[in-house]
Amino acid sequence: MCRSRLIFGLILVWCLPGCRPQKADSGTKTAPAKIEHADESQIYRVVLTPEAETRLQISTVAVELKSVPRTRTVGGVVAIPDGASVFVTAPVAGTLQPADSTKPLAGQQVAAGQAVFQLTPLLAPEREVPSAAERVAMANAKASLISSQITADGDVQQAKAQVEAAKIALDRAKRLLAEKAGSARDVDDAQARLDIAAKGLEAAAARKQMLDKLTLEAEGGQVTNIPVHAPQNGILRTVSSSIGQTVSLAAPLFEVVRLDPLWVRVPVYPGQRDQFSPEKAAIVRRLGNETDDITVRPVAAPPSADPLAATIDLFYELPNGDGVFRPGERVEVVLPVAGETESLVIPRAAVLYDIHGIAWVYVNSAEHTFERHRVELRFTTTDAAILNRGPQPGTPVVVDGVAELFGTEFGAGK
C-alpha cells in the first residue's frame, strides 16, 4: 500500500507543471482589420492596417459630375435599302448563253459590269428554209427590235428635254439667290434634278446606241451575242432564267442586291417618338455580342408604320463591308434619348450589390478608413455607372478591392 501511494505521488508531481497556465506572449498582435461600431452613423466603417490595405491592393477613383447622354436599348431588323435591289430584263428577244464556263447561281457574288449571260438575238433563221414557227419568231423579233428602237429614241428625246428644263430651272434658282430672292436650298434642289436628268439621258443614249448597233449588224448578216451585265456590285438574289432558254423582250433574267450598306429598321411606340433624337447616331449590336458596337447614322427613308403592332419605324444606315449582317436579321439598337443632364458618374466596378439587391459603394473617408454608402443607380453602361443619388463629386470611392472590403466587414474573409 505504501509503495502504491508513493508511485501515485510521483506521477502527480510530474504532471502538475503541464497544468499551469502559460505565460502571455511578450509581443502584441494587431488585427489586420477593425470594424467600428461607435454609433449608428459609423456602423458601416472598416479600418484597415497599412499592411492589410497594401495586401488587398485597394485603389480609388473620384466621383465625377458630368453630362451623360441618355440611351435606350430596343430591337431592330436589318433590311435592304430602297434602290439596292435591281431587276435585269432581256433587252431583246433571244436565247440565253453562259457568259463564261460557269452557270450563274443565286447567291453568287458579282461585280458592276460583270457579264452574267450572253443573249443571242432572234434576228436570223438557223436554216435557209425556216419553218412557219421560226418565221413568226423572226417577225416578232424584228417587230420587237423596231419597237425598242423607237422607244429608245423617244426616251433620248424626252431625257434631253428634261435636261434642258432642269438647266433653265437651275439658272433661275441661281439668279434668284444672287438677287436675295431665293434660297440655297432651291439651288441645291435644282442641281439635284439636273443631275438626275443627266443620268437618265446617259442611260437612254446608251440603250439607243446598243439597239442601233444591233440593227446595223443585223443588216450585214453578222448578228453577235449581247452580253447582259450586272448593273452594280452585290449578289444574285434570284436567277429567273436558265441557259438555253428563249426569252422575250423585257423578260426577267436575274436580280442583283447590294448588301453594303444595309438599313436597320427600328420600330418604336408612337407615344415615345419625341423622347428619341432621330438626328443623332445610334449603336447596333448583334444578338449575344455586346463587344462589337457599330455606330450607325440616321437615313432618310419612306415613312412606314405597323398598325397591328402600334409602332412607327426609324431607319439607320448600317455598314456591312464584311458581309456579317443579313437581311431580316434581328439586332440590338441603342437609341439616344433626347436631353442630357448632369449626373454622378463612377466606374461600374465600384458598385456592390448585397443579398437584397441594394447597391453600395465604399468611400475612402480617411486614411486606411472605408465607409459603405448606399447609392441609387440611374443606369449603367459597359464601363460606368450613372447615379441618381450618391457621394458628392470628388469623393474617392473604391474600385479595386470592393469585394474584399465587403467580406472583411461581414467576416467572410481572413
> Is it the case that residue 36 has pLDDT exceeding 90?
no
> Is it the case that residue 266 has pLDDT exceeding 90?
yes
Mean pLDDT of the chain: 81
* Domain endpoint, select from 257, 276, 306: 257
With respect to residue 307, please indicate whether it lies within any of the assigned structural domains: yes
With respect to residue 135, please indicate whether it lies within any of the assigned structural domains: yes
Q: Which residue has the cell 502504491?
A: 4
* Domain endpoint, select from 230, 257, 284: 257
Question: What total number of domains does the chain contain?
Answer: 2
Confidence of residue 122 (pLDDT cuts 50, 70, 90): confident
Task: Give 228-259 pLDDT, tens digit per residue.
Answer: 999 899 999 999 988 888 998 889 999 999 99
CATH number of the domain that residue 235 is part of:
2.40.50.100
> Is it the case that residue 26 has pLDDT exceeding 50?
no
CATH number of the domain that residue 306 is part of:
2.40.30.170
Rounded to the nearest 10 degrees, how much is the dihedral formed by the CA atoms of 126, 128, 129, 131?
10
In sequence order, which ranges of 220-284 are alpha helices (DSSP H)? none
With respect to residue 151, please indicate whether it lies within any of the assigned structural domains: yes
C-alpha cell at 152: 429608245
* Domain endpoint, select from 196, 226, 257: 257
Confidence of residue 414 (pLDDT cuts 50, 70, 90): very low
Indicate the pTM of the whole model: 0.53
Where in 147-211 does DSSP place strands (E)?
Answer: none
* Same domain membership, residue 413 and residue 358: yes
* Same domain membership, residue 71 and residue 96: no
Which sign, positive or negative, has the C-alpha torsion 88, 330, 298, 186? Answer: positive
Domain residues for the domain of 305 are 32-84+263-414
Rounded to the nearest 10 degrees, how much is the dihedral formed by the CA atoms of 405, 406, 411, 414?
-40
CA distance 389 to 104: 64
